């Protein structure tokens, strides 16, 4: 894939092991169930604090207890119901059957017609008979003195009666709404978790993926690493998290600049290749086999990055909780660089069919876009030189700028910079920008 294409990199299942006292343990690569139980120790340790478990009760957060106002309301209704209706003094007594209506008055002789007679003038206001007033039920006298700063609302039966909501003394903390959204997302992501077994993101990035992946020059990788380091603003020696690190292309380049790197990915084949490359370069990088939805780091990293459209593989609540996990993993003031394909650009520029020749294989992709879910569906078909074939159905949520920035803000970030390409930092040109690169900071 080219630099501006919709690149899908692996997403990270199990978080790194940590002792109960927070003592760093050796990071290991662990195979999942059904594929053998082998472990491979990594050269450097990783530390992370255990994430506490929270009991989420959604309904109680918005339950209103009417107990205090119920007695007053019942007394008011009772006094209205028991109050006798008004009876006029000259009203006739009630009868079982209605009396017959009086006969109509005799018709008067019509005046002779007058040609082009003007309409009669309207009667004077003084001579107009008063309109009869409708009878109303007596209102109950309710003492509202016990209500501090009570609000007097005008009668809503009056024409044009309106209540200005700005006059209500309501003081709501915006953080309450954010907590409610995060609580719902956390609950939904746990109950309706997208299974990893058999999912495309756990099957695609195997050893055969390297054959069809376009080669990337070292000079190109160095320029991308320079952009990441500038955007994060972390001094050499700081600890960085490479989320969905793949085979360690950026992690190795940044580790060579003096950073303490931790790479996390779901693909064992990718991690093995990354570990071999790091050892060949004599670099101590901690690679962890895990799922990005299970991050349990607490204020460990000075910066983090997730590039090449490695974000958006899961449902919307799960994607939001990935961002929340990154916020928890960063120290105060730490920055996150998120690089994904720009939805608005892909809608008009990505072809519906694409194919290329890899290393002993031929790859074809058929692309469709779901406008309702805002997800791109890619049917990838690979044919290898030995005659074997592989088919994958990729599904990635693509975001517009306003959607991604709002998600980052809900997750606890502040937006610092938006770019459409690494060559134009701080400049974003809407649908003309192939990439959506956001730099967000934890307050």
Number of neighbours of residue 248 by Cβ within 10 angstroms: 26
Tokens of 24: 């760093």
pLDDT at residue 123 in the model: 53
- Tell me if residue 66 falls in helix, strand or coil: coil
Tell me what percent of the residues of the chain surpass a pLDDT of 70: 61
Query: Which DSSP string corresponds to 44-89?
Result: EEE--PPPPP----SGGGG---TTTTHHHHHHHHHHHHHSPPP--T
Residue 83, pLDDT above cutoff 50: no
Q: Report how far residue 37's alpha carbon sits from residue 268's, in angstroms, rounded to the nearest whole number.
A: 13
Residue 420, pLDDT above cutoff 90: yes
Residue 114, pLDDT above cutoff 70: no
344-370 pLDDT, tens per residue?
A: 999 999 899 999 999 999 999 999 999
In a domain, 10, yes or no: no
In a domain, 127, yes or no: no
Torsional class of 408: left (φ above 0), alpha (ψ -120 to 50), beta (otherwise): alpha
Residue 22, pLDDT above cutoff 60: no
pLDDT at residue 185 in the model: 93
CATH number at residue 294: 3.40.50.150
The stretch 204-224 carries a mean pLDDT of: 90
Half-sphere exposure of 336 (CA within 13 A, CB side): 31
Higher per-residue confidence, 194 vs 47: 194
Residue 119, pLDDT above cutoff 70: no
pLDDT at residue 110 in the model: 52
In a domain, 9, yes or no: no
The stretch 322-343 carries a mean pLDDT of: 98
pTM of the model: 0.63
pLDDT band at 190 (very low <50, low <70, confident <90, very high): very high
Number of neighbours of residue 158 by Cβ within 10 angstroms: 8
Q: Could you tell me how far CA 4 lies from the centroid of its own chain?
A: 25
pLDDT band at 177 (very low <50, low <70, confident <90, very high): confident
Tokens of 336: 């996150």
pLDDT at residue 108 in the model: 53
Q: Which residues contact 2 (CB under 8 A, 6 or more apart)?
A: 214
Least confident segment among 139-148, 324-333, 338-347 = 139-148
Residue 23, pLDDT above cutoff 70: no
Report the candidate in 362, 424, 369 with the shortest Cα–Cα distance to residue 394: 369
8 A C-beta contact, residue 303 and residue 292: no
In a domain, 168, yes or no: no
The stretch 125-138 carries a mean pLDDT of: 47
Residue 136, pLDDT above cutoff 50: no
221-246 pLDDT, tens per residue?
A: 999 999 999 999 999 999 999 999 99
The stretch 151-160 carries a mean pLDDT of: 47
Report the candidate in 130, 279, 231 with the shortest Cα–Cα distance to residue 438: 231
Residue 156, pLDDT above cutoff 60: no
In a domain, 17, yes or no: no
In a domain, 137, yes or no: no
In a domain, 87, yes or no: no
Q: Could you tell me how far CA 356 lies from the centroid of its own chain?
A: 35
Least confident segment among 8-12, 23-27, 45-49, 61-65 = 61-65
Number of domains in the chain: 1
- Burial label for 259, CB within 10 Å (0-12, 13-18, 19+), is buried
Q: Report how far residue 102's alpha carbon sits from residue 269's, in angstroms, rounded to the nearest whole number.
A: 101
Higher per-residue confidence, 102 vs 273: 273
pLDDT band at 103 (very low <50, low <70, confident <90, very high): low
Higher per-residue confidence, 127 vs 291: 291
Buried b (16+ CB within 10 A) or exposed e, 71-90: eeeeeeeeeeeeeeeeeeee
In a domain, 4, yes or no: no
The stretch 56-83 carries a mean pLDDT of: 38
Q: Which domain holds residue 246?
A: 25-51+176-441
Residue 160, pLDDT above cutoff 70: no
pLDDT at residue 344 in the model: 96
């Amino acid at each position: 894939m080219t630099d501006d294409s919709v690149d899908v990199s692996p997403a990270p299942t199990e978080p790194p092991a940590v002792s109960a006292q927070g003592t760093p343990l050796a990071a290991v690569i662990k195979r999942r169930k059904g594929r053998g139980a082998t472990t491979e120790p990594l050269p450097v340790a990783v530390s992370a604090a255990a994430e506490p478990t929270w009991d989420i009760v959604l309904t109680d957060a918005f339950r209103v207890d009417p107990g205090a106002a119920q007695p007053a309301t019942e007394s008011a209704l009772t006094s209205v119901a028991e109050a006798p209706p008004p009876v006029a003094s000259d009203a006739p007594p009630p009868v079982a059957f209605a009396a017959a209506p009086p006969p109509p008055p005799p018709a008067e002789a019509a005046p002779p017609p007058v040609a082009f007679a003007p309409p009669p003038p309207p009667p004077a206001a003084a001579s107009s008979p008063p309109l009869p007033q409708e009878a109303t039920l007596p209102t109950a006298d309710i003492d509202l003195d016990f209500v501090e700063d009570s609000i007097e609302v005008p009668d809503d039966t009056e024409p044009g009666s309106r209540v200005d909501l700005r006059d209500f003394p309501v003081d709501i903390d915006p953080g309450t709404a954010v907590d409610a959204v995060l609580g719902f997302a956390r609950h939904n992501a746990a109950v309706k978790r997208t299974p990893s077994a058999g999912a495309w993101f756990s099957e695609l990035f195997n050893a055969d993926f390297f054959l069809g992946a376009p080669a990337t020059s070292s000079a190109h990788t160095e320029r991308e690493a320079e952009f990441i380091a500038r955007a994060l603003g972390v001094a050499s020696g700081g600890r960085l998290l490479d989320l969905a690190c793949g085979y360690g292309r950026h992690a190795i380049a940044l580790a060579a600049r003096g950073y303490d790197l931790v790479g996390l990915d779901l693909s064992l084949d990718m991690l093995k290749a990354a570990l071999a490359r790091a050892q060949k370069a004599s670099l101590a990088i901690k690679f962890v086999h895990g799922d990005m939805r299970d991050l349990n780091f607490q204020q460990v990293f000075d910066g983090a990055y997730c590039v090449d459209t490695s974000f958006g593989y899961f449902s919307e609540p799960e994607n939001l909780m990935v961002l929340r996990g990154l916020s928890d993993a960063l120290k105060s003031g730490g920055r996150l660089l998120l690089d994904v394909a720009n939805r608005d650009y892909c809608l008009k520029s990505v072809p519906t069919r694409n194919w290329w020749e890899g290393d002993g294989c031929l790859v074809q992709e058929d692309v469709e876009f779901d406008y309702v879910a805002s997800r791109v569906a890619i049917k990838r078909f690979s044919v290898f030189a030995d005659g074997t074939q592989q088919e994958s159905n990729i599904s990635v949520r693509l975001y517009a700028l306003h959607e991604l920035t709002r998600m980052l803000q809900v997750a606890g970030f502040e937006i610092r910079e938006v770019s459409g390409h690494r060559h134009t930092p701080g400049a974003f040109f809407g649908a003309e920008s192939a990439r959506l690169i956001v730099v967000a900071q934890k307050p």
